[in-house]
């Protein structure tokens, strides 16, 4: 069986069930599927958020995400991995990102999924701009995201 790495950047929303079903379809080796979905909140750093726009670096984004998944595959015995990240305008409650990993057992799938997400937060070239009552602002990077990524080094 092949072990697909799927990376997609898109404006459109994604159907969680359809994506997870497709990732594991027909592969009876898979005993575990771990997934993470990131969502737009309506509050950040003490201000209400009415809209968010995601910018990215076309070309580098895909390359960076594929490198992160490749790294995960060297660290854990996983089968398939899927990363979908949306760009463009988003509203609170919208889905932003999906990371899903399949493996024989849950330990590898949980760990690889968290690793991919932690590295995505610090290495994939996306930038969030949010609209608040005081106007639009670029979201600042968080030190806690750096700390989360450093745990894996």
Partner 1 sequence: MSVRILYFAGLREALGRASENVDLPTGIATVGALRDWLAGQGRDKLASAKNLRCAVNQDMAGPDAAIRDGDEIAFFPPVTGG
Binds partner 1 by CB under 8 A, chosen from 29, 41, 63, 105: 63
In the complex, minimum distance from the CB of residue 25 to partner 1, in angstroms, rounded to a whole number? 26
Query: For 60, how many CA atoms within 13 A lie in the half-sphere containing its CB?
Result: 8
38 sits near partner 1 (criterion: CB under 8 A): yes
In the numeric block, the tokens 């994506």 are attached to: 19
126 sits near partner 1 (criterion: CB under 8 A): yes
- Cα-Cα-Cα-Cα dihedral sign, residues 29, 32, 38, 41: positive
Residues 6+ apart with CB under 8 A from 87: 9, 10, 11, 54, 55, 56, 126
Phi first, then psi: give them for residue 96, nearest 5 degrees. -105, -50
Which lies closer to partner 1 via its Cβ, residue 1 or residue 60? 60
113 sits near partner 1 (criterion: CB under 8 A): no
**Please, which of residues 2-31 interact with partner 1 by CB under 8 A?**
none
84 touches 19 (CB < 8 A)? yes
Pairwise CA distance, residues 138 & 40, whole Å: 15
37 sits near partner 1 (criterion: CB under 8 A): no
85 sits near partner 1 (criterion: CB under 8 A): yes
Which lies closer to partner 1 via its Cβ, residue 24 or residue 56? 56
127 sits near partner 1 (criterion: CB under 8 A): yes
Task: Give residues in contact with partner 1 (CB under 8 A).
Answer: 38, 54-57, 59-60, 63-64, 85, 96-97, 117, 120-129, 138-141
């Amino acid at each position: 069986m092949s072990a697909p790495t799927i990376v997609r950047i898109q404006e459109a929303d994604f159907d969680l069930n359809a994506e997870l079903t497709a990732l594991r379809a027909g592969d009876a080796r898979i005993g575990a599927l771990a997934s993470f979905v990131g969502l737009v909140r309506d509050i950040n750093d003490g201000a209400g958020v009415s809209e968010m726009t995601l910018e990215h670096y076309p070309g580098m984004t895909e390359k960076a995400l594929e490198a992160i998944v490749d790294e995960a595959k060297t660290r854990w015995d996983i089968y398939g991995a899927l990363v979908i990240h949306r760009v463009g305008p988003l509203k609170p409650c919208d889905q932003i990102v999906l990371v899903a990993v399949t493996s024989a057992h849950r330990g590898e799938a949980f760990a690889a999924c968290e690793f991919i997400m932690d590295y995505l937060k610090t290495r994939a070239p996306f930038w969030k701009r949010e609209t608040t009552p005081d106007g639009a602002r670029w979201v600042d990077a968080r030190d806690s995201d750096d700390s989360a990524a450093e745990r894996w080094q």
